[in-house]
């Protein structure tokens, strides 16, 4: 199959990019500017903003853990897709293979669950 079916996707992407870049760039030009020192501080409901290191500083390990679990399951999903598309052609062999694969991931899932990796406390 030729790549010509992909051209409209790129077209829409470019149009969307042009539109959003244009509007993001034009806004500071057409909008008013009234300098005020307090306006430029980070918003924290009116109190003095907490000094925060640029680049995030430290945040809970749970977010990393979720990201790692996501990688495991997303790869599982990606492996499931081609199997699902050609499911009818693969027949019993494909079914058993996928049973083993999902079973393996399921053991990891049960392990993570029991170790409390899925709890958010």
The radius of gyration of the chain's CA atoms, rounded to the nearest angstrom, is: 25
**Least distance (Å) from another protein to the CB of residue 17?**
5
- Integer CA distances (angstroms), 116 to 22, 38, 58, 106, 113, in order: 47, 44, 22, 15, 5
**Least distance (Å) from another protein to the CB of residue 89?**
9
**Least distance (Å) from another protein to the CB of residue 82?**
9
Q: Which two tokens stand for residue 10?
A: 């790129």
């Amino acid at each position: 199959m030729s790549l010509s079916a992909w051209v409209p996707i790129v077209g829409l992407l470019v149009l969307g990019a042009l539109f959003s870049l244009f509007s993001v760039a034009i806004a500071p030009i057409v909008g008013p500017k009234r300098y005020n020192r307090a306006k430029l501080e980070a918003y924290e409901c009116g109190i003095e903003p907490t000094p925060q290191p640029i680049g995030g500083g430290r945040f809970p390990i749970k977010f990393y853990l979720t990201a790692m679990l996501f990688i495991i399951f997303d790869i599982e999903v990606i492996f499931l897709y081609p199997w699902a598309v050609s499911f009818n052609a693969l027949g019993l062999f494909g079914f058993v293979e996928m049973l083993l694969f999902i079973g393996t991931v399921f053991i990891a899932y049960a392990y993570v669950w029991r170790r409390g990796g899925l709890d958010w406390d």
